[in-house]
């Protein structure tokens, strides 16, 4: 499987301070990748550097085999879609209008929406299960529905990689499960997903691969069980991680205790 | 009724109301012109033979040299200011953003006051509008350059710099005003209060040459404007050149306010009231809101100017004070609505 996104030795500076130090990361087609790590480890910064929103100070990022900087802005937005958890309560747009914004990389400033655009919007609404809410105003939705609308906007970009920054933040358990089910369905269509996830149990259940980020470096990367069993994970979170096999459940359950 | 049907109805009502308001504004004033005579004069000018009774020669002069440019200028000015309000509210994601915010209006005022103080207005035709326009463009340029120098090209940076530049230009205006000879202060006051008294075809041509193309261009830029309204990060991730788009949009709004303020002084609240009233009716998408705001703003200022010159028979009321008299209470009520929803 060839990688869609390849980062090699990626460094990012904020002011005089280097916040990412030499990150190597590959994202393959259809892969589910969870970025985990303590607060301020550099996970969100990494997402923004990979999508070209932040200037990198060293290393390379290739998208589809081409250097990030050789992509046009809209060309890149057709490959990578970033969905952040910015509060969207203020948006007065309807869900359909909000999702239609995701077609901007295709229409540009002046072109009207064409049949292909309407099809992509309808597909995004259907995949996220919010077609029935299409004419509602985003500001009147629940937090979970708003997050699904934001994901639908990303899908409308028809990207090869969907990058999500804490998509489950502020969601109750029902909405979390619905969101990750939708993400699985999206992945089944061949779209890779790279998500910052705080809940380690959720990350291990959902992802093919965990990438543990700490202090601007990748401390461990691999199948969830290996990463969570590594000494690095326990040391970085300063907790004891215990794995419990549950009959009838393929993935283990985890418990966490303070101290290492 | 579906949203698109309601939108069509709103546009139809706005166009009819504006046409009616323009017609009434042409006939009413300190001298009332008979409707039939106005119709005859318009038809004749359009090359269509008319059997309606003609206006008196004096009536013809009033209609064509005084009332017509004034009424059209009111429409162009109101439309332009309302579009500016709608654009700024979208760019700054704030329902109470308006032209005063970025130092554009205060910059225009400073330019005008300096021109009057130096006595340029007495010697040079159009010195005042030229100076006001220069002032507004310099003010917004200062805001942009200062925000960039301080590495604050962000939304908040621009807003804070705008507030600072506004305060600075207002202070400078007061200082120049105090140092100005008394007989010239009256001219400044008249201009600061805002009004369309005695505006000619030349003033109309000047304002329209800037306002109409700029408003049209802003309407054409509706989609980037909507993308920008979702926040800098999302806009950038969708491929929009955020700083460039914002500079272009703000530059166009500055041109409109500069041109409008140059010929009519300060006419406040139009940019707040018109978009605010129309947004629930046509929806927040800029390609609907901007044209609706233009029509609504034009209607508002044509009516306000009509009131300014007919309510008091002794002298014209200042147009800017009238729009504020209507706009401020409306706004206080609307603010309660915003807080209740928030």
- Quick one: three-class SS letters along B139-168? HHHHHHHHHHHCCCCCHHHHHHHHHHHHHH
Contact status, residue A221 vs residue A28, Cβ threshold 8 Å: no
Q: Do A91 and B241 touch (CB under 8 A)?
A: no
The values of phi and psi at residue A240, to 5°, are: -95, 130
Contact status, residue A92 vs residue A139, Cβ threshold 8 Å: yes
Which among B111, B260, B137, B112 has a CA at the least distance from the CA of B191? B112
Contact status, residue A156 vs residue A100, Cβ threshold 8 Å: yes
Domain coordinates in residue numbering, chain B: 3-341
DSSP A86-100: ---TT--SBHHHHHH
Of B13-22, B25-34, B143-152, B258-267, minimum mean pLDDT range: B143-152
Q: Alpha helices, DSSP H only, in chain A?
A: 43-50, 73-77, 95-100, 104-107, 115-127, 143-156, 173-188, 200-206, 224-229, 231-237
CA gap A84, A164 in Å, rounded: 6
The values of phi and psi at residue A135, to 5°, are: -95, 0
* A86 closest CB neighbour out of B221, B233, B285: B233
Q: Do B238 and A101 touch (CB under 8 A)?
A: yes
* pLDDT tens digits along B145-183: 888 787 665 677 778 888 889 899 989 998 998 888 888
B336 contacts chain A (CB < 8 A): no
Q: Do A97 and B241 touch (CB under 8 A)?
A: no
CA gap A186, A167 in Å, rounded: 14
User: Which chain A residues touch B224 with a CB distance below 8 Å?
Assistant: 109
The structure's pTM equals 0.89
Task: Read off the pLDDT band of B1 (50, 70, 90).
Answer: low
**Interface residue of A48, A91, A159 to substitute, partner B, most B CBs within 10 Å:** A91
Q: How far is B91 from chain A (nearest CA, A)?
A: 12
CA gap A174, A65 in Å, rounded: 39
Which among B242, B235, B227 has a CA at the least distance from the CA of A82? B235
**pLDDT (average), residues A136-163:** 92
* Alpha carbon B20 to its chain's center: 20
Q: How far is B150 from chain A (nearest CA, A)?
A: 14
What pLDDT is attached to residue B198?
A: 82
Beta-carbon count within 10 A of B151 CB: 8
Nearest chain A residue (CA) to B285 = A93
Instruction: Give percent above pLDDT 90 in chain B.
Output: 35
CA gap B267, B77 in Å, rounded: 9
Instruction: Write out the two tokens for B140.
Output: 């917004």
- Catalogue all structural domains in chain A, each as residue range(s) with its CATH number: 1-79+161-224 (3.40.50.300), 84-158 (no CATH)
CA gap A151, A129 in Å, rounded: 11
* pLDDT tens digits along B132-141: 888 988 888 8
Q: Do B226 and A51 touch (CB under 8 A)?
A: no
What pLDDT is attached to residue B118?
A: 86
Which helix (H) or strand (E) covers residue B242, if one does?
A: helix B242-264
Q: Do B284 and A92 touch (CB under 8 A)?
A: yes
Which among B321, B206, B186, B208 has a CA at the least distance from the CA of B266? B321
Q: Which residues of A touch B (CB under 8 A)?
A: 48, 51, 53, 72-77, 80-82, 84, 86, 88, 90-94, 97-98, 101-102, 104-105, 107, 109-110, 135, 157
Which among B71, B328, B63, B316 has a CA at the least distance from the CA of B194? B316
Under 8 Å CB-to-CB from A248, ≥6 apart: which residues?
none
User: Which chain B residues touch A80 with a CB distance below 8 Å?
Assistant: 237
**Interface residue of B220, B237, B286 to substitute, partner A, most A CBs within 10 Å:** B237
According to DSSP, the β-strands at A192-196 and A3-14 are unpaired
Sheet holding A66-67, edge to edge: A17-28, A3-14, A58-63, A66-67
Radius of gyration of chain B (CA): 21
Residue whose entry in the numeric block shows the structure tokens 């540009």: A108
Beta-carbon count within 10 A of B58 CB: 10
Q: How far is B229 from chain A (nearest CA, A)?
A: 8
* pLDDT tens digits along A127-139: 999 999 999 988 8
Beta-carbon count within 10 A of B179 CB: 8
Check whether B126 has a pLDDT greater than 50.
yes
* A53 closest CB neighbour out of B223, B226, B236: B236
Q: Do B238 and A92 touch (CB under 8 A)?
A: no
Q: How far is A92 from chain B (nearest CA, A)?
A: 6
Contact status, residue B237 vs residue A53, Cβ threshold 8 Å: yes
DSSP A133-153: GTTSBGGGS-HHHHHHHHHHH
Q: Return the exposure string of B295-313: e unless at least 16 CB atoms fall within 10 Å of the residue's CB, then b.
A: bbbbbbbbbbbbbbbbeee
Residue ranges of B 133-172 with Cβ closer than 8 A to chain A: none
Q: How far is A163 from chain B (nearest CA, A)?
A: 11
Task: Read off the pLDDT band of B342 (50, 70, 90).
Answer: very low
CA gap A129, A183 in Å, rounded: 11
What pLDDT is attached to residue B151?
A: 66
Q: Do B227 and A91 touch (CB under 8 A)?
A: no
- The class of domain B3-341 in CATH terms is mainly alpha
Work out the angle at residue B159's Cα, subtended by the Cα atoms of residues B153 and B164, and round it to the nearest 5 degrees.
105
Q: Do A84 and B234 touch (CB under 8 A)?
A: yes
Under 8 Å CB-to-CB from A204, ≥6 apart: which residues?
A34, A210, A224, A225, A228, A251, A252, A254
Task: Give the ipTM.
Answer: 0.89
* Alpha carbon B78 to its chain's center: 5
Check whether A115 has a pLDDT greater than 50.
yes
């Amino acid at each position: 499987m060839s990688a869609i996104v390849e980062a090699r030795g990626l460094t990012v500076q904020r002011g005089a301070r280097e916040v990412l130090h030499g990150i190597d990361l590959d994202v393959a087609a259809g892969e589910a990748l969870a970025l985990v790590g303590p607060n301020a480890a550099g996970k969100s910064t990494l997402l923004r550097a990979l999508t070209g929103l932040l200037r990198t100070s060293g290393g390379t990022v290739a998208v589809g085999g081409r250097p990030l900087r050789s992509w046009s802005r809209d060309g890149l937005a057709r490959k990578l879609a970033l969905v952040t958890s910015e509060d969207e309560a203020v948006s007065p747009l309807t869900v359909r209008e909000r999702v239609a914004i995701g077609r901007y990389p295709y229409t540009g400033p002046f072109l009207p929406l064409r049949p292909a655009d309407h099809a992509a919007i309808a597909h995004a609404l259907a995949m996220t299960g919010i077609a029935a809410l299409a004419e509602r105003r985003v500001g009147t939705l629940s937090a979970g529905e708003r997050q699904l609308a934001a994901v639908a906007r990303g899908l409308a970009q028809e990207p090869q990689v969907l990058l999500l920054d804490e998509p489950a933040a502020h969601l109750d358990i029902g909405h979390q499960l619905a969101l990750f089910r939708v993400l699985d369905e999206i992945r089944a269509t061949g779209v890779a997903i790279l998500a910052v996830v705080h809940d380690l149990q959720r990350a291990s259940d959902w992802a093919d691969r965990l990438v543990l980020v700490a202090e601007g470096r990748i401390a461990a990367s691999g199948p969830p069980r290996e990463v969570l069993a590594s000494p690095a994970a326990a040391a970085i979170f300063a907790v004891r991680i215990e794995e419990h096999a549950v009959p009838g459940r393929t993935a283990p359950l985890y418990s966490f205790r303070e101290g290492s | 009724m579906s949203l698109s049907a309601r939108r069509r109805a709103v546009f139809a009502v706005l166009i009819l109301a504006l046409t009616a308001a323009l017609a009434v504004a042409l006939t009413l004033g300190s001298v009332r012109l008979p409707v039939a005579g106005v119709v005859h004069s318009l038809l004749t000018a359009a090359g269509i033979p008319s059997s309606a009774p003609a206006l008196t020669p004096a009536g013809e002069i009033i209609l064509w040299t005084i009332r017509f440019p004034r009424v059209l200028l009111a429409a162009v000015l109101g439309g332009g200011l309302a579009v500016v309000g709608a654009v700024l509210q979208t760019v700054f994601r704030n329902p109470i953003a308006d032209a005063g915010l970025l130092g554009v209006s205060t910059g225009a005022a400073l330019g005008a006051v300096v021109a009057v103080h130096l006595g340029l207005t007495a010697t040079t035709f159009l010195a005042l509008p030229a100076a006001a326009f220069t002032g507004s463009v310099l003010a917004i340029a200062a805001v942009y350059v200062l925000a960039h120098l301080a590495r604050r090209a962000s939304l908040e940076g621009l807003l804070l710099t705008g507030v600072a530049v506004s305060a600075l230009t207002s202070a400078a205006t007061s200082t120049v005003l105090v140092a100005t000879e008394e007989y010239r202060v009256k001219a400044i006051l008249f201009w600061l209060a805002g009004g369309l008294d005695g505006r000619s075809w030349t003033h109309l041509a000047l304002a329209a040459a800037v306002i109409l193309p700029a408003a049209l261009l802003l309407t054409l830029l509706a989609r980037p404007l909507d993308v920008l309204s979702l926040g800098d990060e999302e806009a950038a991730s969708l491929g929009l050149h955020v700083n460039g788009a914002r500079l272009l949009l703000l530059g166009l709004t500055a041109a409109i306010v500069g041109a409008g303020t140059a010929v009519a002084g300060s006419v406040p609240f139009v940019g707040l009231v018109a978009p605010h009233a129309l947004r629930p009716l046509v929806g927040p998408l800029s390609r609907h809101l901007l044209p609706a705001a233009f029509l609504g703003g034009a209607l508002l200022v044509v009516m306000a100017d009509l009131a300014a010159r007919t309510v008091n028979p002794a002298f014209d009321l200042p147009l800017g004070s009238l729009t504020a008299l209507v706009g401020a209470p409306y706004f206080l009520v609307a603010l309660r609505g915003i807080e209740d929803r928030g």
